[in-house]
Structure 1
Amino acid sequence: MLQIIPETPAIHADAIETLFDATFGPGHFAKTAERLREYSRSLPEISRVAVLDGEVIGVCRVWPLRVGPARHRALFYGPVAVAPSHRGGRLGLTVTGEAIEAGTAAGWPAAILIGAPAYFGEIGFTVTPKHQLSFPGPQDPARVMVRDLASDASVLSGLVTAA
């Protein structure tokens, strides 16, 4: 039976890292998004894992961010990964949607995600206007998306940094 549950680092961390390596390869550490994660800690109470028969087959990790000179609080969703044997369905959207619900319930105001607009648009993410958000490294602005959680995500503007 498939379960979507909060991450428990002591139980899931190794399996999640193995899933990230299988999904993204060793080059994923070079991405700009990793600059936001390397000096931060994920929020396991908001992150979600998909577990099938005791095996982690999907994950959406979530990280705290600050945005712009006003230092607005936001959550950074990703990486989102699904085991190769379970791709092609909607598991990535399901696990991300569950993490969105957890972030909303926890009172976070907004979500940021870097990904495919056609895919993540299905769960309410929209592409930000070009140059509204900047990152600590190069980033394709066509893949930068936001979503309201408890307030208006359109107020987010400026440099995105780790919390």
Structure 2
Amino acid sequence: MIEILPETPAIHAAAIEDLFDRTFGPGHFAKTAERLREYSASVPDVSRVAILDGEVVGVCRVWPLVVGERRDRALFYGPVAVAPSHRGDRLGLRVTQAAMEAGREAGWPAAILIGAPVYFTEIGFVVTPRGRLSFPGPQDQSRIMVSDLAGEASALEGLVTAP
């Protein structure tokens, strides 16, 4: 049975990085989303890992962000990765939804995610209006999504940056 737990960096970090490398390849470091992550530290209490027989088979890492001139707080969800042996069983959605619940319980107002709308809208993400959010590099506007946590994501507007 798969357990979904908070990330414990001392235990899970190496396995998570290995899963990211196997899932996305070395090119994932060139993505705009990585510009936000490289100047920040993840939030392990909100991030979630899926564990089966002691092995990390899924992960949703979560990062703090600030948005716009008002410097609204938000969480950045991703990367979301699932081991090839568990793709197709909705594990990515389950681990992301568990991380969203943790973010809500921790009082974070909103979630931002860059991903496939056909997939992530099932758990409450909505595509933002074109130009509402911008990133420190090129980003496909049709893949930028937000979700309410303990506040209203629709209020987010402006440049998304690391805190």
Give me the TM-score of the superposition, normalised by structure 1: 0.99
Partner SS for 1:75: strand
Cα distance per residue 1:81-102 (max 9 Å; x no partner): 0001110111000000000000
RMSD: 0.4
TM-score, structure 2 as length reference:
0.99
Query: Which residue number corresponds to residue 112 of structure 1?
Result: 112
* Number of aligned residues: 163
User: Could you give the per-residue CA deviations for residues 19-78 of structure 1, whole angstroms, max 9, x where no partner exists?
Assistant: 000000000000000000000000000000000000000000000000000000000000
Please give the secondary structure, in 1, of the residue aligned with 2:66: strand
2:101 corresponds to: 101
Find the counterpart in structure 1 of residue 72 from structure 2.
72
Q: How does 1:4-153 map to 2 (within 5 A)?
A: 4-153=4-153
Give the Cα–Cα distance (whole angstroms) in 2 for the partners of residues 30 and 138 of structure 1: 11
Aligned partner of residue 130 in structure 1, secondary structure: coil
| Partner-residue secondary structure (3-state), 1:65 | strand
Q: What is the rounded CA distance, in whole Å, between the counterparts of 2:110 and 2:85 in structure 1?
A: 32
Aligned residue type for 1:125: F
Shift of 1:2: 1.0
The more displaced of 147-156 and 44-53 is 147-156
**Structure-1 separation of matches of 2:2 and 2:36:** 31
Structure 1 gaps of 5+ residues are none
In the TM superposition, structure 1's runs of 4+ consecutive aligned residues that sit over 4 Å from their partners are none
Counterpart AA for 1:114: I
2:43 and 2:33 mapped to 1: Cα distance?
16
Q: 1:107 offset after TM fit, Å?
A: 0.2
